[in-house]
C-alpha cells in the first residue's frame, strides 16, 4: 500500500516534471554555412541535406552515437538465404500526422528511392525486389549476396505513401532540373522531430514530434536551423548567444571561441575526403585553350598532383586541422590502409617536367569549380591550389559559387575541373567505387572507366567470402591510385563549437543526432 502510494507520488511528480519541461520552451539554435538542399529525403545524397532529413525521417536500421548499426523502424531482420532478407517492423510507429506506419510505406519508400530522379538509386541498386509480406513484414531480395545491405539501408528514409500520394510527390523531386515539389519544401516522417517552418537558406524550425514511438532522451521542444554563410558572422552569432551550436566552426576562430568562457569546442576527424576531379572523358576542355583535353594524359594529372603543397594548405588554410590524403577514403572504412593513404611527394620541379613531357611546356588554361559554403574553407583551399597550379604554368581561373549551384551544374555535366568531398556512410570502400569510379556512375564526373575496376566492383557487391572481397577492394584501390583519376587533398577534421549549456554529441560523420541532445 505504502509502496504503491509512493510510486503514485513519484509517477505524478514525473508527469508534472515532464509536463512542465514540455511547456518550458527549450530551443537549440543550430547553424552551419549552408542549408539542406531539399527536404525530399531521396532527392539529394548530400551531407547537410541528410543531416536535416535524419531529424525528421527514419530508416529500417540506423547508426547510433557510436556509429554502429542498430534497429530503428525494423526491430529485427534475418536473411533466409544469401539474397533474401526479411525485416520485421516495429508495430507502434506513427507518422507525425498520426497515421500508422506499415510495410506498405517501407516498400513504397524503397521503390521511390530507386526511381531515376532519386539520388539514392546507386545506394540500393543491388535490391532486385521488395514486397510487403504482411502489415509489419517486408521482404527484400538482392541480385547477388550483399554484405553491406544493412549499411546501405541505414540511409534510405521511410516516407508515408498516403502523404506522398496526396501531395503529388510519389517520385522524388528532379533536383538537377530545378523542380520543386510539395515534398521538397515539406517533410512528414516518423522521426523525433517534425518541420513546422521551412525558409530555404534562412530558417528551418523543427518541433518535437509528440507522436514519436521512441524513448525521449532529449529535453528539447524545438530546434532552429539558421544557416549563416559568412564565417565571421557565424562566430559572432555564436559568441553573442544568438546561436547555440555551430557544426562547422571556422578553423581560424576555434581558439577565440574556446577562450570565451561560455563556449566549448570539440574536434574529430570527419569521415570525409576532399579532392579535385578532372574530366578525362571530354575530347576538348570546355574552358581550355589547347583544343584538346590535357587531363586525358596521366602525366598532366600527376603534374597537378605534385604541384599541390598539401602541408602548406594544412598549416595555413586549415590551421592544422586536416589530414593529407592519398586516396578518397579514410581510416575506419573497409579497404583503407596507411600505405594507400600515402601521397606522392610535393615537387613543383618534377611537375613542370611532367607537363613538358606531356606536351604542355607552357601549361594550359582551365576553370576550377568550387563550392563556397559546403566544406571547411572550401573556397580558400581552391584559391590556394589555383596559386600552386599557376606556379607550374597551368593557368586556372576560379569559379566558386554556392553549393546548390555547384552541385547542380556538376550533375548536369558542366565544368572540367571541380572540387568535391566524399563521405562514406556505409563505411565500406564499395560506396566510393560505386559512386566515383564505376563506369557511368552518377558522381563519376571525371568519366573514369576501367573494365577491371568495373569487374572488381561487381565482386565487392556479390562476394561473401571476406578475404576474396578484401583482395578485390585492394586491387581496385591500387588501380585507381596509380591512374591518378582524382587529386585527393585531405581528410577533413570537423569542429563543433557550442554554448556550454548545450550538449550535442559530436559524431565523425558530422551528423548531429538531436534526439540525444540537451540544453540546460
CA-based nearest residue to 341, from 483, 507, 478, 446 = 478
C-alpha–C-alpha distance, residues 255 and 263, integer Å: 11
Q: How many CB atoms lie within 10 A of CB 145?
A: 16
Residues 393-422 as x/- pattern, contact with other proteins by CB under 8 A? ----xx-x----------------------
Q: Which three cell numbers stand for residue 467?
A: 578475404
**CB of 231 vs other proteins, minimal distance in Å:** 5
Q: Which is nearer to other proteins, 135 or 316 (CB)?
A: 316
Q: Which is nearer to other proteins, 140 or 228 (CB)?
A: 228
CB 366 within 8 A of CB 360: no
* Residue 316 found at the interface with other proteins (CB under 8 A): yes
* Residue 148 found at the interface with other proteins (CB under 8 A): no
Select from 73, 228, 432, 489 the one that contacts other proteins (CB under 8 A). 228
CB 109 within 8 A of CB 164: no
Select from 115, 125, 139, 185 the one that contacts other proteins (CB under 8 A). 185
Block residue for cell numbers 524513448: 215
* Residue 230 found at the interface with other proteins (CB under 8 A): yes
Q: Which three cell numbers stand for residue 421?
A: 568531398
C-alpha–C-alpha distance, residues 142 and 122, integer Å: 13
Q: Between helices 451-462 and 466-483, what is the axis angle to 10°?
A: 150
DSSP 298-319: HHHHHHHHHH--HHHIIIIIST
Stretch that binds other proteins, among 294-302, 391-399, 444-452, 499-507 (CB under 8 A): 391-399
* Residue 255 found at the interface with other proteins (CB under 8 A): yes
C-alpha–C-alpha distance, residues 57 and 169, integer Å: 16
**CB of 370 vs other proteins, minimal distance in Å:** 12
C-alpha–C-alpha distance, residues 510 and 450, integer Å: 32
Select from 387, 449, 450, 470 the one that contacts other proteins (CB under 8 A). 387
Residues 194-223 as x/- pattern, contact with other proteins by CB under 8 A? -----xxxx---------------------
# binding residues, other proteins (CB under 8 A): 45
Stretch that binds other proteins, among 268-276, 335-343, 390-398, 429-437 (CB under 8 A): 390-398
* Residue 180 found at the interface with other proteins (CB under 8 A): yes
Give the single-character DSSP code of 345.
P
Select from 315, 413, 452, 478 the one that contacts other proteins (CB under 8 A). 315
Per-residue CA distances from 325 to 248, 354, 421, 511 (Å): 20, 22, 12, 22
**CB of 228 vs other proteins, minimal distance in Å:** 7
Q: Which three cell numbers stand for residue 233?
A: 558572422
Per CB under 8 A, contacts with other proteins among 450-509 are none
In angstroms and rounded to an integer, the radius of gyration of the C-alpha atoms of the chain is: 24
Stretch that binds other proteins, among 137-145, 250-258, 437-445, 482-490 (CB under 8 A): 250-258
- C-alpha neighbours within 13 Å on the C-beta side of residue 502: 30
Q: β-pairing, 193-199 with 203-208?
A: antiparallel
In 159-316 the beta strands, taken as DSSP E runs, fall at 193-199, 203-208, 222-225, 245-246, 263-278
* Residue 383 found at the interface with other proteins (CB under 8 A): yes
* Residue 32 found at the interface with other proteins (CB under 8 A): no
C-alpha–C-alpha distance, residues 94 and 25, integer Å: 24
Select from 14, 133, 177, 464 the one that contacts other proteins (CB under 8 A). 177
Stretch that binds other proteins, among 57-65, 240-248, 331-339, 436-444 (CB under 8 A): 240-248
Select from 77, 87, 157, 389 the one that contacts other proteins (CB under 8 A). 389
Residues at the site binding other proteins, with contacts judged by CB under 8 A: 174, 177-180, 185, 199-202, 228, 230-233, 235-237, 239-242, 250, 252-253, 255-256, 309, 312-313, 315-317, 380, 383-384, 386-391, 397-398, 400
Amino acid at each position: 500500500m505504502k509502496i504503491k502510494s509512493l510510486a503514485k507520488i513519484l509517477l505524478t511528480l514525473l508527469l508534472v516534471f515532464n509536463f512542465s519541461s514540455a511547456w518550458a520552451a527549450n530551443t537549440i539554435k543550430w547553424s552551419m554555412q549552408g542549408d539542406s538542399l531539399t527536404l525530399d529525403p531521396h532527392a539529394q545524397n548530400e551531407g547537410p541535406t541528410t543531416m536535416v532529413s535524419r531529424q525528421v525521417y527514419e530508416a529500417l536500421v540506423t547508426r547510433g552515437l557510436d556509429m554502429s548499426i542498430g534497429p530503428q523502424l525494423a526491430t529485427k531482420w534475418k536473411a533466409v538465404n544469401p539474397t533474401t532478407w526479411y525485416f520485421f517492423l516495429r508495430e507502434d510507429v506513427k507518422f507525425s500526422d498520426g497515421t500508422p506506419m506499415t510495410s506498405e510505406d517501407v516498400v513504397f519508400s524503397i521503390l521511390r528511392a530507386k526511381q531515376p530522379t532519386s539520388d539514392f538509386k546507386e545506394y540500393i541498386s543491388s535490391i532486385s525486389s521488395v514486397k510487403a509480406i504482411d502489415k509489419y513484414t517486408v521482404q527484400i531480395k538482392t541480385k547477388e549476396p550483399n554484405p553491406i545491405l544493412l549499411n546501405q539501408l541505414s540511409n534510405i528514409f521511410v516516407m508515408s505513401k498516403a502523404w506522398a500520394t496526396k501531395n503529388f510527390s510519389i517520385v522524388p523531386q528532379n533536383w538537377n532540373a530545378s523542380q520543386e515539389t510539395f515534398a521538397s519544401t515539406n517533410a512528414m516522417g516518423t522521426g523525433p522531430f517534425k518541420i513546422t517552418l521551412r525558409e530555404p537558406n534562412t530558417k528551418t524550425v523543427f518541433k518535437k514530434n509528440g507522436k514519436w514511438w521512441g524513448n525521449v532522451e532529449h529535453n528539447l521542444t524545438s530546434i532552429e536551423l539558421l544557416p549563416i554563410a559568412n564565417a565571421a558572422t557565424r562566430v559572432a552569432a555564436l559568441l553573442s548567444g544568438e546561436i547555440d551550436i555551430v557544426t562547422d566552426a571556422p578553423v581560424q576562430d576555434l581558439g577565440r571561441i574556446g577562450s570565451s568562457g561560455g563556449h566549448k569546442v570539440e574536434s574529430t576527424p570527419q569521415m570525409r575526403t576532399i579532392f579535385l576531379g578532372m574530366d578525362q572523358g571530354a575530347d576538348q576542355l570546355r574552358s581550355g585553350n589547347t583544343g584538346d583535353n590535357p587531363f586525358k594524359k596521366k602525366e598532366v594529372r600527376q603534374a597537378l598532383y605534385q604541384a599541390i603543397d598539401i602541408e602548406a594548405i594544412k598549416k595555413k588554410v586549415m590551421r592544422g586541422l586536416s589530414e593529407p590524403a592519398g586516396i578518397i577514403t579514410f581510416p575506419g572504412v573497409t579497404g583503407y590502409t596507411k600505405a594507400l593513404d600515402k601521397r606522392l611527394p610535393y615537387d613543383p620541379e618534377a611537375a613542370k617536367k611532367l607537363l613538358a613531357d606531356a606536351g604542355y611546356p607552357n601549361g594550359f588554361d582551365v576553370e576550377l569549380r568550387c563550392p563556397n559554403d559546403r566544406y571547411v574553407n572550401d573556397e580558400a583551399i581552391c584559391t590556394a591550389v589555383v596559386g600552386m597550379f599557376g606556379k607550374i604554368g597551368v593557368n586556372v581561373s576560379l569559379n566558386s559559387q554556392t553549393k546548390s549551384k555547384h552541385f547542380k551544374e556538376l550533375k548536369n555535366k558542366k565544368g572540367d575541373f571541380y572540387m568535391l568531398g566524399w563521405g562514406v556512410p556505409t563505411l565500406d570502400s564499395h560506396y566510393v567505387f560505386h559512386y566515383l569510379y564505376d563506369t557511368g556512375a552518377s558522381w563519376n564526373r571525371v568519366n573514369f572507366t576501367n573494365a577491371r575496376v568495373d569487374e572488381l566492383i561487381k565482386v565487392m557487391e556479390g562476394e561473401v567470402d571476406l578475404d576474396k572481397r578484401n583482395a578485390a577492394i585492394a586491387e581496385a584501390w591500387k588501380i585507381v591510385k596509380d591512374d591518378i583519376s582524382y587529386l585527393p587533398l585531405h581528410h577533413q577534421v570537423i569542429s563543433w563549437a557550442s554554448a556550454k549549456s548545450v550538449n550535442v554529441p559530436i559524431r565523425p560523420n558530422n551528423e548531429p543526432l538531436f534526439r540525444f541532445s540537451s540544453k540546460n
